[in-house]
């Protein structure tokens, strides 16, 4: 199928879904709008949160708050996670040292860290960054590790024959060799970051999209709930798209 063709089909599907939504909430009210909002309700909620604000702030403030937390947690987790994954993948000694700790932490669902994070750091930003870190860290480590282990032995042999050592070996051989796996890990980490952020904000926050969702649930305000959900999706999707762009730029040799 031609790319233009499938894009057109995609647009058509979305338009159809929106039309059906409008139809069954407004024209033929089969759906109870007290449970699921009509397009007009969502529009009203969107205008309210952008103009007057909702849950103590305007939309952009919530979006910025959540995005900054996600980026902070994600970036730290990736830096630490990729470094640890490289070390564990490359050095048997590092693996022996770190793997037991990692195996112990790994089965704990990230959300189970929330209570401890609150006890340690309170309800502020630091606690949420910690929880995001815990969630994003695991896929970064595992995939980087896998990438290093999947390296062809011949490549390692060629690089040691050419005299590659130390930082140059890491930068020019180890990292690019593991890069496809590393990026898989980063994509999973990013998803996990958004998931845990929303959960952490639901527990308690001053601002943030999770806080919007939390307030809207308490106010039984379906229109606002949908706005919150849509913006979580948009932010996550946008960051994933940026990551995809970085991935293509970072690995030109894999472009078709």
Note the residues at the interface with another protein (CB under 8 A).
152, 154-155, 157-165, 168, 172-173, 176-177, 179, 251-253
DSSP code for 112: G
- Which pair of structure tokens corresponds to residue 211? 């806080």
The contacts of residue 14 (CB under 8 Å, 6+ apart) are: none
From 199, 189, 182, 171, select the one nearest 76 (Cα to Cα).
189
Residue 54 has φ and ψ, to the nearest 5°, of -150, 145
We find the least distance from the C-beta atom of residue 254 to another protein, in angstroms, to be 8
Q: Could you give the angle at the alpha carbon of 75 between the alpha carbons of 216 and 84, nearest 5°?
A: 130
> Minimal distance in Å, beta carbon 154 to another protein?
4
Contact of 198 with 67, CB cutoff 8 Å: no
> Judged by CB, which is closer to another protein: 176, or 204?
176
What's the gap between Cα 178 and its chain centre? 21
CB of 159 to another protein, least distance (A): 8
Nearer CB in complex with another protein: 151/217: 151
Classify burial at 204, counting beta carbons within 10 Å of its beta carbon; exposed 0-12, middle 13-18, buried 19 or more: middle
Distance, in Å, from the CA atom of 70 to the CA atom of 187, rounded to the nearest integer, reads 13
Least Å distance between CB 243 and another protein?
Answer: 19
Residue among 103 and 255 whose Cβ is closer to another protein: 255
CB closer to another protein, 7 vs 162: 162
Quote the least distance from Cβ 153 to another protein, whole Å.
9
Identity of the residue, 3 or 252, whose beta carbon is nearer to another protein in the bound complex? 252
Question: Is 4 or 153 the residue whose CB approaches another protein more closely?
Answer: 153
> Of 32 and 152, which has the nearer Cβ to another protein?
152
Distance CA 164, CA 193 (A): 36
Cβ neighbour number for residue 202 with a 10 Å cutoff = 16
- Closest to 194 (Cα-Cα) out of 163, 160, 159, 238: 238
Residue 79 Cβ vs another protein, minimum distance, rounded to whole Å? 21
CB of 239 to another protein, least distance (A): 25
């Amino acid at each position: 199928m031609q790319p233009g063709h499938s894009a057109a089909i995609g647009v058509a599907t979305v338009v159809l879904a929106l039309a059906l939504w409008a139809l069954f909430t407004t024209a033929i009210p089969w759906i109870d709008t007290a449970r699921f909002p009509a397009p007009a309700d969502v529009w009203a909620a969107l205008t309210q949160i952008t103009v007057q604000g909702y849950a103590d702030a305007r939309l952009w403030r919530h979006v910025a708050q959540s995005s900054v937390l996600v980026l902070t947690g994600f970036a730290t987790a990736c830096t630490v996670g990729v470094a640890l994954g490289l070390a564990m993948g490359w050095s048997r000694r590092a693996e022996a040292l770190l793997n037991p700790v990692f195996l112990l932490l790994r089965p704990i669902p990230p959300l189970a860290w929330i209570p401890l994070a609150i006890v340690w750091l309170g309800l502020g930003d630091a606690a949420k960054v910690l929880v995001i870190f815990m969630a994003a860290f695991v896929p970064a480590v595992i995939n980087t590790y896998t990438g290093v282990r999947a390296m062809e032995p011949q490549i390692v042999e060629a690089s040691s024959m050419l005299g590659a050592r130390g930082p140059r070996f890491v930068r020019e051989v180890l990292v690019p060799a593991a890069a496809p796996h590393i990026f898989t890990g980063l994509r999973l980490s990013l998803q996990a970051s958004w998931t845990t952020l929303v959960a952490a904000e639901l527990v308690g926050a001053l601002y943030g999209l999770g806080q919007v969702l939390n307030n809207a649930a308490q106010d039984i305000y379906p229109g606002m709930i949908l706005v919150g959900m849509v913006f979580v999706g948009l932010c996550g999707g946008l960051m994933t798209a940026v990551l995809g762009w970085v991935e293509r730029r970072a690995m030109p040799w894999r472009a078709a």
